[in-house]
Amino acid sequence: MTPSDGTTVPPVLSISQLYDRVDAALNSTFGGKSGLWVEGEIAKISGSNGHCYLDLVDPAERGPRPSVLGGKCWKSTWGPLQRTLAAAGITLTAGMTIRFKGTVDFYRPQGKVGFVISELDVTALQGAMALQRQELIDALRRDGTIGRNASIPVPELPLRVGLIASPGTEGCADFLGQLERSGFAFEVILSPATMQGERSAPSVIQGLASLQRLADSVDLIVITRGGGAKTDLAAFDDDALARAIGASTIPVWTAIGHSGDESICDLVAGRAHITPTACGGAIVERVSLVAASVASSAAAVLRAAESVVADAVHLRERATSQLGLLASGALAREHLRLSNDVQRLVRAARARCIEAATSLGTAVRLTKTSATDTQLRRGFAIIRTETGSIVRSPEAVAIGTEISAEFATGTLTATVTGHQPLTTEEAS
Task: State how far the Cα of 221 lies from the Cα of 252, in Å rounded to an integer.
Answer: 5
pLDDT at 245 over 80: yes
pLDDT at 303 over 60: yes
Q: Last residue of a domain, which of 93, 128, 163?
A: 128
The reply to whether 208 and 294 lie within a common domain is no
Whether 134 is in a domain gets the answer no
Q: Last residue of a domain, which of 243, 264, 285?
A: 285
pLDDT at 31 over 70: no
pTM summary value: 0.54
The reply to whether 157 and 230 lie within a common domain is yes
The reply to whether 156 and 116 lie within a common domain is no
Could you tell me which of 248, 259, 257, 358 has the C-alpha nearest to residue 301? Answer: 358
Say which residue, 117 or 425, is predicted with more confidence: 117
Task: State how far the Cα of 134 lies from the Cα of 207, in Å rounded to an integer.
Answer: 26
The reply to whether 190 and 270 lie within a common domain is yes
87-90: long-range pairs with CB below 8 Å, 24+: 87/230, 88/122, 88/125, 88/126, 89/230, 89/231, 89/233, 89/234, 90/122, 90/125, 90/126, 90/129, 90/231, 90/234
Q: What pLDDT was estimated at residue 425?
A: 60
Identify whether the C-beta of residue 60 lies closer than 8 Å to the C-beta of residue 104.
no
Per-range mean pLDDT, top range of 65-74, 149-158, 325-334, 382-391: 149-158
Range of the domain at 357: 288-369
Whether 109 is in a domain gets the answer yes
Tell me the residue type at 243: R
Instruction: Give the containing element (helix H, strand E) for 328.
Output: helix 328-368
The reply to whether 263 and 330 lie within a common domain is no
The reply to whether 268 and 353 lie within a common domain is no
We report the CATH number of the domain holding residue 263 as: 3.40.50.2300
Q: How many domains does the chain divide into?
A: 4
Task: State how far the Cα of 17 lies from the Cα of 27, in Å rounded to an integer.
Answer: 15
Say which residue, 311 or 405, is predicted with more confidence: 405
Whether 416 is in a domain gets the answer yes
Identify whether the C-beta of residue 101 lies closer than 8 Å to the C-beta of residue 117.
yes
Q: What pLDDT was estimated at residue 152?
A: 95
pLDDT at 345 over 70: yes
Whether 8 is in a domain gets the answer no
Widest Cα–Cα separation across the chain: 166
pLDDT at 223 over 80: yes
Q: What pLDDT was estimated at residue 371?
A: 55
Instruction: Name the least confident of 210-224, 334-348, 398-412.
Output: 334-348
Indicate the pLDDT class of residue 330, thresholds 50, 70 and 90. low
Q: Last residue of a domain, which of 261, 285, 309?
A: 285
The reply to whether 161 and 201 lie within a common domain is yes
- Looking only at the bridges linking them, the beta strands covering 220-224 and 252-255 are parallel
Whether 387 is in a domain gets the answer yes
Over the stretch 124-141, which tens digit does the pLDDT of each residue have?
777 777 788 888 889 999
Q: What pLDDT was estimated at residue 176?
A: 94
Say which residue, 426 or 45, is predicted with more confidence: 45
The reply to whether 30 and 58 lie within a common domain is yes
Indicate the pLDDT class of residue 32, thresholds 50, 70 and 90. low
**Percentage of residues of the chain with pLDDT beyond 70:** 83
Alpha carbon of residue 171 to chain centroid: 9
Over the stretch 152-200, which tens digit does the pLDDT of each residue have?
999 999 999 999 999 988 889 999 999 999 989 999 999 999 888 778 8
The reply to whether 252 and 313 lie within a common domain is no
Could you tell me which of 289, 296, 298 has the C-alpha nearest to residue 359? Answer: 298
Identify whether the C-beta of residue 162 lies closer than 8 Å to the C-beta of residue 186.
no
Instruction: Name the least confident of 78-87, 191-200, 230-239.
Output: 230-239
Task: State how far the Cα of 174 lies from the Cα of 163, in Å rounded to an integer.
Answer: 12
**How large is the C-alpha radius of gyration of the chain?**
37
Identify whether the C-beta of residue 81 lies closer than 8 Å to the C-beta of residue 120.
yes
Please give the mean pLDDT across all residues of the chain: 82
Average pLDDT over residues 103-113: 84
Say which residue, 187 or 21, is predicted with more confidence: 187
Task: State how far the Cα of 163 lies from the Cα of 321, in Å rounded to an integer.
Answer: 68
Say which residue, 331 or 293, is predicted with more confidence: 293
The reply to whether 239 and 259 lie within a common domain is yes
pLDDT at 308 over 90: no
Instruction: Name the least confident of 223-237, 322-336, 396-410.
Output: 322-336
pLDDT at 281 over 80: yes
Identify whether the C-beta of residue 305 lies closer than 8 Å to the C-beta of residue 353.
yes
Whether 277 is in a domain gets the answer yes
pLDDT at 147 over 90: yes
The reply to whether 173 and 253 lie within a common domain is yes
pLDDT at 76 over 80: yes
Whether 255 is in a domain gets the answer yes
Average pLDDT over residues 208-234: 83
Whether 215 is in a domain gets the answer yes
The reply to whether 33 and 111 lie within a common domain is yes
We report the CATH number of the domain holding residue 100 as: 2.40.50.140
